[in-house]
Amino acid sequence: MKLIILSVFFALSFLVHPSVNAQTLSAKYLLVFKDKSNSPYSVSQPLAYLSQRSVNRRQKQNIALTTKDLPVNPAYIGEVKKKGAKVIYTSRWMNAALIECTPTVLTSVLQLSFVKGLEINTSIDNPSTRTARKTTKFESLGTEALSYGLSKTQIEMIGADKMHDQGFHGEGMMIGVLDAGFNNANNIAALKPLFDEKRIVGTYDFVKNEKNVYEDDSHGTEVLSCMGAYLDGQLIGTAYKASFLLLRSEDAASEYLIEEANWLFAAEYADSIGVDLINSSLGYSEFDDASTSHKYADMNGKTTIAARAASWAASVGIVCVISAGNEGNAAWRYIATPADADSVITVGAVDALKSYVSFSSIGPSADGRVKPDLAVMGRSAAIITPNGNVSTSDGTSFSSPILCGMVAGFWQANPTLTAMTVIDRMRKSGSQYQTPDTRLGYGIPDFTRANSPTVLSTENENNQLFNVYPNPTTSEITIQLNDKKVNNYFTSLMDISGKTLLYQPINSLSFKLSLIHLNAGTYFLRIGNERKSALVKVLKIE
């Protein structure tokens, strides 16, 4: 797929931090602007800064473009550069820019009339104190030998096998993967179909400021395999026919606040390309520079850069699926950001017996919301290693993409749903939806339950979209739309298990549907378009 060139400022050279005194040491800062006044960009001409797919996603969910979608005013960027600062990336949603400069230049930049200040009142990468990082909170916790068909349990646990049986494998869905690198992913047989069929729609490394993402950390390769791998008889990803945008935002060698800023830039880029979902098996709580570390009180979905970025992504119609974290046994214990964001699916881990595993980070969020939202297999999860072998590994890093692929297929099966409704349906499909807790949240989700009458019937108690008669019926029903014209409506018919029996477009305001071939029983009829839908129970009798 040919990508549209967007208004994102990408530096073309690597950054060098000279070892000199503090006044001449160049560092990175997240600079925030006061407004977007006199911008050459307009909400009425979004294709100047968003792809058509991104615009379509908003329109489909009736999400209006706002000034938050507008790029940073380029005149402001020009003035910042004149002061001697290097502009690395810009953020539409935060109205900010990541700059590199000396403290002397920073002082001059902060005096510009349109500059609000710094998002964090210090350097966010601390080059003078950079040290090797001990571990990454979301890296694999170990691998072990495996046997044939190892992905069977993790797929069946969430009903992804039923989803595949119904013909939903992620076709037409685009998933942005924000991770630490995708080492050798372009040379692995299990991922070869993604490249052969041009379903890797783009790549970018926000750590090195380059396009190549295949030479660094392997964590993203393993994560991607949970969704996109296809190795017949050994491992099949939950959305192996989806398209993927691979973005490196995490520097696995260290842990600094700049990685949250990278997450923001990557999420915005994913939005502009037009992704439907974001999977992120990353999280942040404690940093190498302890003065910038978060407190549990910050895990309220509103404080951190990453949580705000995830919420902004959700606000433009993207479903974000986020790992809860692997701190359940550590002193921190709780979810990390952006897993604390409100309108995202935060995923904890269970084992093959559906029991909580102790490393999985717990909730609630600091403001008392249910977290994690759901839990999926994360103990001995089947993955593809960077050398192309099938193996197993532990971590919520893998529960998240396993679920993300299922969510993609579910949304494919229910294309008129909004992102918020998809999230709600996933939560309601949880095995303990009525009694959520701090370990598994609403429990283990299931594709069939998400489509079940119990979940569906709560959405449309007062249907005014269409009428159905006769109901009950012995052979056929007549459907009458209560609309003045046909606006891309579709009809679908499901049995009581949620299995789709029929799916077709509607070409007239009144039409008949034959049920003569169906057994007597209860069925569910959905009528809708991109903006609205409704569901009614239909009873067929002998």
Active site residues: 179, 219, 397
CA distance 246 to 342: 24
Q: Rounded to 5 degrees, what angle do the CA atoms 122, 123, 125 make?
A: 145
Identify which of 368, 294, 378, 370 has the alpha carbon closest to the alpha carbon of residue 332.
294
- Residue 196 CA, distance from chain mean position: 24
Peptide bond into 338 cis (omega under 30): yes
- Alpha-carbon radius of gyration of the chain: 24
Q: Where are the alpha helices (DSSP H) in 93-140?
A: 103-110
Other C-beta atoms lying within 10 Å of the C-beta of residue 475: 13
- Residue 149 CA, distance from chain mean position: 27
Tokens of 453: 């009458």
Name, in order, each residue with C-beta under 8 angstroms of 445's C-beta and a sequence gap of 6 or more.
158, 374, 376, 403, 406, 426, 427, 429, 430, 431
Name, in order, each residue with C-beta under 8 angstroms of 252's C-beta and a sequence gap of 6 or more.
133, 136, 139, 180, 181, 216, 217, 219
Q: What order do you get walking across the sheet with 510-514 strand by strand?
A: 466-469, 476-481, 510-514
Tokens of 303: 């404080």
CA distance 30 to 187: 36
